[in-house]
Copies of this chain bind each other. A is one copy, B any other.
């Protein structure tokens, strides 16, 4: 593993307008990296499509960058670009010659990928073709670049064995082999991420590229040291059943005095992490490069909880404040095990120095307090009734603007 701390190096942040991409771009800029931020702004279009806004007002990417410049004198370079645009991507790689690329630029919602064939294919093509184009562009213009790709713990599914970090050594009929950890992903979104991982692994193997695949757990939290500096630097907070993550969603329900809606029996167990730890993990990855040809995988989360445990923790935090929270179990829109073995390893990033921010009642109380100021913006119907199911796709309440299965083929 190369040690790496050339803080003046150029880093691409792809998907820099997103929930995690934006805080990452700020952190890197704060640390003195030359940050080239890119996004096709499709997340804003997808939000408009489903008709539910973020909880908080979010400034435009141009205003965000301007605000950061005003406050700190630091310039984040911005390009609106779609990774489908190979010519533009090749040119950007050739002109900046990045030392590292942090790739968040994917459609990030499992329910969105299950809406219908059109949304499934949109997700699959956006994610896999974007990543393929990136691999070819780096091979051509920056073959020594370190690709840091955001994957998902949901790629693994819920196997009945311990989940290792990307690789597994197995014995079979008296012989041994180190193999990619077998995966059984939860949705077409997760399948697109698995495909990305395999394509990147191949590029490392045949083109001697270096990559880190970060299989991330469910992220919670609202802000970081940099986003707190000004309202126009805030990151987007999603709470709806399509783009919101579980803990964020529960906290909005708690703030609104609504019951927490648990899917099915609630035994589904996943890895979780604080948004601040996301940034820390990526920085650790950036500063410790894999060797050329190495496809390195880290499981990026700090704790694992069942959905019931999450709901319980929130209930306890509210009780501390003298408030009661109720839980309702609703029909599970997903097809998944609701009671299963789950033990996922996450040692590698700790070994590199990660100091986790664990979930506690203080944090939950502060999160709910922050949410409370935006309660007038909450659309509770977007929380209560998941309107995309794994069995039947989207129902008629899902989106105002979607003509299911009638959009042009890709």
Please report A residues at the B interface, Cβ cutoff 8 Å.
Answer: 84-87, 90, 116-118, 120-121, 124-125, 128-129, 132-133, 136-137, 140, 159-162, 168, 170-173, 175-177, 179-185, 188, 191, 194-195, 198-199, 201-202, 205-207, 335, 341, 390-391, 405-406, 409-410
A175 to B161, CA, bound (A): 6
Q: Which residues of B contact A117 (CB under 8 A)?
A: 86, 132-133, 136-137
Is the CB–CB distance between A132 and B124 below 8 Å? yes
Is the CB–CB distance between B175 and A341 below 8 Å? yes
- Distance in angstroms from A239 CB to nearest chain B CB is 25
A188 to B199, CA, bound (A): 7
Q: Which residues of B contact A129 (CB under 8 A)?
A: 121, 124-125, 410
A198 to B128, CA, bound (A): 14
Is the CB–CB distance between B184 and A191 below 8 Å? no
* A117, A121, A180, A391, most chain B CB atoms within 10 A: A117
Q: Which residues of B contact A195 (CB under 8 A)?
A: 128, 191, 194-195, 198
Is the CB–CB distance between A176 and B160 below 8 Å? yes
Partner of A188, one of B194, B202, B405: B202
Q: Which residues of B contact A406 (CB under 8 A)?
A: 87
Q: Which residues of B contact A184 (CB under 8 A)?
A: 179-180, 201-202, 205
Known: A162-B172, A179-B182. A390 touches B86 (CB 8 A): no
A176 to B160, CA, bound (A): 7
Is the CB–CB distance between B160 and A177 below 8 Å? yes
- Distance in angstroms from A180 CB to nearest chain B CB is 5
A350 to B136, CA, bound (A): 42
Q: Which residues of B contact A84 (CB under 8 A)?
A: 409-410
* A124, A173, A390, most chain B CB atoms within 10 A: A124
Q: What are 12 A-B contacts defined by CB distance under 8 Å?
A: A117-B132, A121-B129, A129-B410, A133-B409, A160-B176, A160-B177, A161-B172, A170-B172, A171-B171, A182-B182, A188-B202, A205-B335
Nearest opposing residue in chain B for A83, CB measure: B409
Nearest opposing residue in chain B for A195, CB measure: B195
Q: Which residues of B contact A132 (CB under 8 A)?
A: 117, 120-121, 124, 188
Q: Which residues of B contact A159 (CB under 8 A)?
A: 177, 179
- Distance in angstroms from A127 CB to nearest chain B CB is 11
Is the CB–CB distance between A180 and B182 below 8 Å? yes
Nearest opposing residue in chain B for A180, CB measure: B182
- Distance in angstroms from A225 CB to nearest chain B CB is 38
Is the CB–CB distance between A206 and B170 below 8 Å? no
Nearest opposing residue in chain B for A194, CB measure: B198
Nearest opposing residue in chain B for A390, CB measure: B206
- Distance in angstroms from A346 CB to nearest chain B CB is 15
A132 to B126, CA, bound (A): 14
Q: Which residues of B contact A179 (CB under 8 A)?
A: 159, 182, 184
Nearest opposing residue in chain B for A85, CB measure: B409
Is the CB–CB distance between B176 and A206 below 8 Å? no
A39 to B207, CA, bound (A): 34
Q: Which residues of B contact A168 (CB under 8 A)?
A: 170, 172, 182
Is the CB–CB distance between B409 and A87 below 8 Å? yes
Known: A117-B137, A410-B84. A173 touches B162 (CB 8 A): yes
